[in-house]
Amino acid sequence: MPNSPADIRANLLAVRRRIDAACRAAGRAPGSVQLLAVSKTYPPAAVRAAEAAGQLAFGENYLQEALAKQAELADLPLEWHFIGPIQSNKTRELARAFAWVHGVDRLKIAHRLSDQRPPELPPLDVCVQVNISGEASKSGCLPSETAALCAAVATLPRLRLRGLMAIPAPVAADGDPRAPFRALRELFELVRSTGHAIDTISAGMSDDLEAAIAEGSTMVRVGSAIFGSRPRAG
């Protein structure tokens, strides 16, 4: 069941404490990691409760659900991030309704988002999504394609390339939970070394944000640890 407003406030505090502790453990400045609250499948009232507790950036995966929520919450100064897979017939609305799009994984999508970003809005902040665990049938470009895709995205006038995003596959119990996040950071450093002023590693969720922060994540995307178990499968 979704949580009450009081639960959401307490959970947000607890997640912010986890982030701060992970930053300290990694010798990183507290505040070097942004929290994106993932509100997919949760009702507008849950977003309102989080906003009342000081959270302004929210992530959504499903376009129609996100647009309905945005309409109900238009009175709040929220920053919306699209973090789901992108279909090319949805780019026009994505380019209009979001501040960030995290799942850019092919050039065709990037071109459409740039062409369709309304002129009165600032450039759209984007991350290139990397299939860091090399899973078949998952979103994201291959690690080996990442630098070239970033170079092409960076030339598009109405996009601002901010960095890389990934959703690593679960690591086996005897594996190193930091390994996929380390691989993502190494790719980030490779892209940055080619002259792109990127500043964002979007990685880490409710169950693995500590491992992500230990390896340099700058934006964790957290849903269930804030809002409770999902009303339906996300």
Ligand X SMILES: *Cc1c(COP(=O)(O)O)cnc(C)c1O
Residues of the shown chain interacting with ligand X in the complex, contacts defined by CB under 6 A: 38, 40, 61, 83, 167, 205-207, 221-225, 234
Nearest alpha-carbon partner for 217 in 207, 227, 208, 226: 208
Q: How far is the CB of 227 from ligand X (least distance, A)?
A: 8
Q: How far is the CB of 40 from ligand X (least distance, A)?
A: 6
Q: How far is the CB of 48 from ligand X (least distance, A)?
A: 19
Is residue 41 within 8 Å of 84, Cβ to Cβ?
A: no
What is the spatial distance between Cα 18 and Cα 13, in angstroms, rounded to a whole number? 9
Element (H, E) at 219: strand 219-222
Nearest alpha-carbon partner for 121 in 95, 145, 86, 103: 95
Cβ neighbors of 100 (< 8 A, separation 6 or more) are 79, 80, 81, 82, 124, 125, 126, 127, 162
| Residue nearest ligand X (C-beta atom) | 223
Task: Give the nearer residue to ligand X in terms of CB position, either 57 or 151.
Answer: 57
What is the spatial distance between Cα 35 and Cα 33, in angstroms, rounded to a whole number? 7
Task: Give the nearer residue to ligand X in terms of CB position, either 81 or 185.
Answer: 81
Q: How far is the CB of 231 from ligand X (least distance, A)?
A: 12
Q: How far is the CB of 94 from ligand X (least distance, A)?
A: 14
Task: Give the nearer residue to ligand X in terms of CB position, either 21 or 121.
Answer: 21
Element (H, E) at 126: strand 124-129
Q: How far is the CB of 66 from ligand X (least distance, A)?
A: 12
Element (H, E) at 35: strand 34-38
Task: Give the nearer residue to ligand X in terms of CB position, either 9 or 40.
Answer: 40
Task: Give the nearer residue to ligand X in terms of CB position, either 38 or 161.
Answer: 38
Task: Give the nearer residue to ligand X in terms of CB position, either 73 or 167.
Answer: 167
Q: How far is the CB of 220 from ligand X (least distance, A)?
A: 8
**What tokens appear for 186 in the block?**
């190494």
Task: Give the nearer residue to ligand X in terms of CB position, either 34 or 224.
Answer: 224
Nearest alpha-carbon partner for 46 in 226, 221, 219: 226
